[in-house]
Amino acid sequence: MKKIIFDCDNTMGFPNCDVDDGLTLLYLLGRKDISLEGLTLTYGNNSLDVVYSTTLDLIKDLNLNLNPYKGTEDKNNRISEASKFLATTVKKNPHEIIVLATGALTNIYGAYLYDNDFFDNVKEIVLMGGITKPLIVDGQLINELNFSCDAEATYNVINSNAKISILNGHTTMEALFSHNELEEFKNSESEVLNYIYDKILPWCERNESITGFKGFCNWDVAAAIYITNPKLFKNEIISIKSSISDLSKGLLKINSHGKEINMPSSIINLNEFNKVFIDSLKNL
């Protein structure tokens, strides 16, 4: 049983905002081999207030037994309710907890500022974010929206003593949720899948109007599936040396003298990836 704290910027259901953080949360809850030790909220897809209210709506709608901890957007005082929860929970469970972070890393760095042993006590930090070159999706240039939100925090997390794995934008853009998966949700007898369908349909239709593709990149879910099913990914160890200025653009610079990071380079089998994802949601 893997113990995870999920730090995210969920906006599933909020107009014109991405849906993958919410899907990642539900994926984790559906896994029988995952113990979700806590949910902390950060920003990125939208403001922290929007993330918080959207997440409370999701919890209420699906009657989830969760009490989310709210982070902060204040870079002058990163120690928040969320960062205190992260630090104290990891301290009580040394070398047992994986932190999955899919938004701005303000809360993660704040946990270290609250307890300087945080990076030594955590088992692993798995991040979704960063790019190694311009990110193009269906001909559109996509800005990096996780690491760049708080570049100083990102710099300190990546260069910490913790074991770090990064699912970057190039790898996670392969995690395509398409029309076929959408139809499976629509036609399912599961009330949860039907609920999810209603929440993600506007995002799919928005993407179709812009790119012609009725679906989306399941960015954050890829980071969660890497934790549960690492064999679905081609694994690589990369040395990264990025300045705070680089990270303000989300740029991960490969440098042989940098910090060794586990950075999977591709998804080996997308059909199996999507099956693992949907099967977990069916367990809810």
pLDDT digits (tens, 9 = 90+) for 194-232: 999 999 999 999 999 988 889 999 999 999 999 999 999
Tell whether the model's pLDDT for residue 160 goes beyond 90: yes
How far apart CA 101 and CA 129 sit, in angstroms, is: 9
Tell whether the model's pLDDT for residue 41 goes beyond 90: yes
The string of DSSP letters for the chain reads -EEEEEEE---TTSTT---HHHHHHHHHHH-TTEEEEEEEE--SSS-HHHHHHHHHHHHHHTT-----EE----TT----HHHHHHHHHHHHSTTTEEEEE-S-SHHHHHHHHH-TTHHHH-SEEEEE--BSS-EEETTEEE---SGGGGHHHHHHHHTSSS-EEEE-HHHHTT-EE-HHHHHHHHH-S-HHHHHHHHHHHHHHHHHHHHHS-SSEE-HHHHHHHHHH-GGGEE--EEEE---HHHHTTTB--B-TTSEEEE---EES-HHHHHHHHHHHHHT-
pLDDT digits (tens, 9 = 90+) for 254-282: 998 999 999 999 999 999 999 999 999 99
| pLDDT value for 184 | 93
What residue spans define the domains of the chain? 2-282
Tell whether the model's pLDDT for residue 140 goes beyond 90: no
| pLDDT value for 136 | 80
| pLDDT value for 143 | 86
pLDDT digits (tens, 9 = 90+) for 45-56: 999 999 999 999
| Mean per-residue pLDDT, 7-30 | 97
| pLDDT value for 139 | 73
Superfamily of domain 2-282: Ribonucleoside hydrolase-like (3.90.245.10)
Least confident piece of the model among 137-141, 203-207, 241-245: 137-141
Residue partners of 53: CB distance under 8 A and separation at least 6 = none
| pLDDT value for 210 | 85
| Mean per-residue pLDDT, 24-42 | 98
pTM over 0.85: yes
